[in-house]
Amino acid sequence: MMRQYELVERVQSYNPQTDEALLNKAYVYAMQKHGTQKRASGDPYFAHPLEVAAILTDLKLDDASIAVALLHDTIEDTDATRAEIDQLFGAEIGSIVDGLTKIDRLQLVTREEAQAENLRKLLLAISADVRVLLVKLADRLHNMRTLDAMRDDKRKRISKETMDIYAPLAGRMGMQEMRQELEDLSFKHLQPEHYQAITARLGEMKADFAGTIKTITAELLSKLKGAGIDAHVKSRVKSPWSIYTKIERKQIALEQLSDMIGFRVIVPTLEDCYRALGIVHTNWKVVPGRFKDYISVPKHNDYRSIHTTIVGVGRQRAELQIRTEEMHRIAELGIAAHALYKEGATDIHKIENESKAFAWLRQTIGQLTNGSSPEDFLEYTRLELFQDQVFCFTPKGRLIAMPRGATPIDFAYALHTDIGDTTVGAKINGQIVPLVTHLKSGDEVEIIRDQNHLPPSNWETIAATGKARAAIRRAVRQQTVQRHYLHGDHLLAMLLEREEVSLTDSEFRQLAEAAGLPGKRELLVALGEGRVSAQDLDDKLLEVKGVKRRRKKIDLPAPDKAEGWFALRDTEVFRFRVPGNPNAGPEAKAALEELSFNTGCAVSIEGVVPGDRMVAIMRKGAGITIYPIHSDALGDLYDSDVAWIDVRWDIVGREDDLHPVAIALQSQNKPGGLAQISSVIAHCRANIHNLVMRMESPDFHKITFLIEVRDLGQLTDVLNSLKMQAGVSDVRRATIAEAEQVMTLDWKAPAKQEVPA
């Protein structure tokens, strides 16, 4: 274990002006607080914060960061308090230590929820002071180095968290050396057999490559020196994790990897980078498509370098990275490089202006902290930390960096949320493409917009960025609330008209309070969503107005068990036939009271799908007909001698059943138009049962589809997807009756096929 004076000497080696008293006090305080605590390995616990401090001295961080490393577990694991830390070491150090302390006292339901809340707190602390991030990564690195003493399940959990969050976070901050070690250590515990196989083979291959590496290094140095460039050449072999990911991605064997060797060519100046590139390309054959200039277009983590791949000795491919010493320092240390001492002091807050990576982090944190749930926050964070990037351009030349796998939808939301919400199409390099197209580096992307458009829910499965997914969910949620509000407003208007009453603003408030809701809007949303039933609200409405219920009388024969007559309510009697059960026992009565679709009852259904709000209309001697609540047919029934019955869906065990629904649209008359529309419907996994196309004018067709869908969500996806298609207009849901006017169709639900045993 490192002694007190040894730690001080390590800091003094790069900062002669170090506050020795502060470091000594932090060392002694942490050692006393941790006392006789032991780690899982049996080592004294204090060895851990001491090693974290040692890692930070390698990064040449300031005195406060080293002190925080020594103190970072005191609040969480000892009886130390934030107030005590503030008093002894100052509010600045106390704030950083508190930012590193987990939220263990919250009553969180799941481990994932706890992980998300701890990460949220950590990221907020990082946005206030970047040193929180540097200490946390050093803490995680030492924990990973000493993970062997943990139980197997705990090792895997910590390794997965490291692979999902901390390694990508280090990469996003440009700390490539730390990222690579975190990935390799996680790989070792998550997939030990693969790790052992690759490291064993790598040991053999390094010996095989020794001669090739020596030859290529000598030739590079000779050629560059001959051109007057004083360069340093460093060789490397790919890490186990990067090799494994490439094998998995390309589905090849380890021996088939052709670019296992890498060289870093360090030159004095920026101009020398491009001179060295010219020398390399004129003396060796280059591999097409393997050239990348991250000096001209730096990555978001401040990484700058020129990448190219040559064919060297023995036709062995070798990747070259050409950069200056300053670029190399930032490539290895990332954001920590900006905290290196200049003339014996550093301004941590200056990092914000020097580092694009930290600016990105603060912007991302601002977006992520608006997540609707801890699980959403965790998902968005993982997406935003995705490392690989492609670089695309707007028509005006603005550069947008996107994660690999991003689509025009992600591009639109990267520009602005309003642009994403109103996107209806995209052009890539001048060609109209589907919105599911994956972007490639160098693409010029133009977004086609419609101010009346709103994003459909299925976009969330297409988007690859956390920002886009968060915005889509928010927009869909707002659409859903607005749809429920309008639906509730319509239902309430029907109730008011049926009861022949009206409501003042004060009576609206009374009605909302009677339903346990704060106001009119909340009441209408709850009514439209189904959280408040129309029947219950009708009762409360009459109470608020002080009106007695005027029940409609239906002249029906006396109850007859043989025909299945039952009292649904004390004051109302309805007839309900249950085929195959003339005695109509208790089972039928329960089915009647719930009006479930699982009873096999003989009812007619007018184009209703699961998810629709419904009402059942019972006519004397004519059975029951179920209508969607928005059906125009209900308008003619307000004053009729019929009974209105609230019904609900019960599709448990029948979630995959298909239901008929009609769609009417107008389409431009052009070759391939019908095929385009049909493919859109098929893409939404809906089945076209029948269609009729009629020409309304030389330029337009009217098409009526009868399709089969599982539920309202799938139908909504179909309608929204059709609305986005060029040349398609006036897309709407039609009734089965309308469809029957334009097509001869005696619809029958598809019979279930029996599968032979």
- pLDDT value of position 378: 57
- Cα dihedral sign for 724, 730, 736, 740? negative
Number of domains forming the structure of the chain: 6
Q: What is the DSSP letter of 372?
A: S
Q: What is the pLDDT of residue 688?
A: 87
pLDDT at 465: 80
- At position 286, the amino acid (one-letter code) is V
Mean pLDDT of 668-677: 82
Could you say which of 76, 208, 230, 325 is catalytic? 76
Pair (489, 576) in one structural domain: no
Determine the pLDDT at residue 272. Answer: 93
Examine residue 378 and state whether it is found in any structural domain, yes or no: no
**Model confidence at 566, in pLDDT bands (50, 70, 90)?**
very low
Residue 164 sits in a domain whose CATH number is 1.10.3210.10
pLDDT-wise least confident of 298-312, 447-461, 646-660? 646-660
Instruction: For 105, list phi and psi in degrees, rounded to 5.
Output: -85, -10
- Domain containing 20 equals 4-192
Name the pLDDT band for 548 (thresholds 50, 70, 90): low
- CB of 47 within 8 A of CB of 1? yes
Query: What's the token pair of residue 690?
Result: 């029948």
The phi and psi torsions of 269 (rounded to 5 degrees) equal -130, 165
Of 494, 521, 545, which residue is a domain's last? 545
| Domain-located, residue 496 | yes
Average pLDDT of the residues of the chain: 76
**Among 12-26, 186-200, 646-660, where is mean pLDDT lowest?**
646-660
Among residues 545, 574, 603, which one ends one of the domains?
545
Q: Is residue 295 part of a domain?
A: yes
Under the banding of pLDDT at 50, 70 and 90, the label for residue 171 is: confident
pLDDT in tens, 463-495: 888 778 888 888 888 888 888 888 888 878 877
State whether 642 and 667 are in the same domain: no
Residue 377 falls inside a structural domain = no
Q: Are residues 641 and 667 in the same domain?
A: no
Lowest mean pLDDT among 154-163, 364-373, 578-587, 733-742: 578-587
CA separation for the pair 495, 69 (Å, rounded): 66
- Residues 35, 164: one domain? yes
Query: Tell me, what's the pLDDT at 385?
Result: 54
Name the catalytic one among 19, 20, 58, 77.
77
Please check whether residues 595 and 673 belong to one and the same domain: no
Each residue's pLDDT tens digit, 8-49: 899 888 888 888 999 999 999 999 999 888 888 888 899 999
Residue 324's pLDDT is 94
Confidence of residue 259 (pLDDT cuts 50, 70, 90): low
Q: Within its chain, how far is the Cα of 228 from the centroid?
A: 51
Instruction: Kindly give the interhelix angle for 466-499 and 356-368, rounded to the nearest 10 degrees.
Output: 20
The residue out of 167, 192, 217 marking a domain boundary is 192
Asked if 524 and 607 sit in the same domain, the reply is: no
427 burial class (0-12, 13-18, 19+ CB within 10 angstroms)? Answer: middle
For residue 579, which phi and psi values (nearest 5 degrees)?
-55, 145
Q: Tell me the C-alpha distance between 422 and 449, whole Å.
A: 5
pLDDT at 412: 93
> Rounded to whole angstroms, what are the CA distances from 2 to 6, 28, 187, 239, 508?
6, 13, 29, 29, 73
310 and 210 in a single domain? The answer is yes
507 assigned to active site = no
Q: Are residues 530 and 675 in the same domain?
A: no
* Whole-angstrom distance, CA of residue 306 vs CA of residue 299: 12
- What CATH code is carried by the domain that includes residue 400? 3.10.20.30
Catalytic residue check, 446: no
Residues 174, 36 within the same domain: yes
Q: Looking at the DSSP assignment, which residues form a beta bridge with residue 446?
A: 427
Domain assignment of residue 442, yes or no: yes
Of 527-541, 594-608, 642-656, where does mean pLDDT reach its minimum?
594-608
Mark whether 276 and 401 lie in a shared domain.
Answer: no
Residue-wise pLDDT for 216-251, tens only, equals: 889 899 999 999 999 999 888 788 888 888 888 777
pLDDT digits (tens, 9 = 90+) for 376-417: 655 555 555 544 567 788 888 787 877 778 899 999 998 888
**Interior CA angle at 206 toward 314 and 174, to 5°?**
105
Assess if residue 293 is contained within a domain.
yes
Q: DSSP characters for 30-76?
A: HHHHHTT-B-TTSSBTTHHHHHHHHHHHHTT--HHHHHHHHHTTHHH
Helix axes 63-71, 47-58, angle to 10 degrees: 160
Kindly report the three-state secondary structure assignment for every residue of 275-324. HHHHHHHHHCEECCCCCEECCCCCCCCCCCCEEEEEECHHHCEEEEEEEE
Shared-domain flag, residues 188 and 203: no
What is the structure's pLDDT at 383? 54
Query: Is 527 found in the same domain as 611?
Result: no
Q: What is the pLDDT of residue 142?
A: 93
**717 lies in some domain:** yes
This prediction's pTM: 0.54
For the chain, give percent helix, strand, coil, nearest 5.
Answer: 50, 15, 30
Q: How confident is the model at residue 62 (pLDDT cuts 50, 70, 90)?
A: confident
281 closest CA partner among 304, 309, 305: 309
Residue 726 falls within a domain, yes or no? Answer: yes
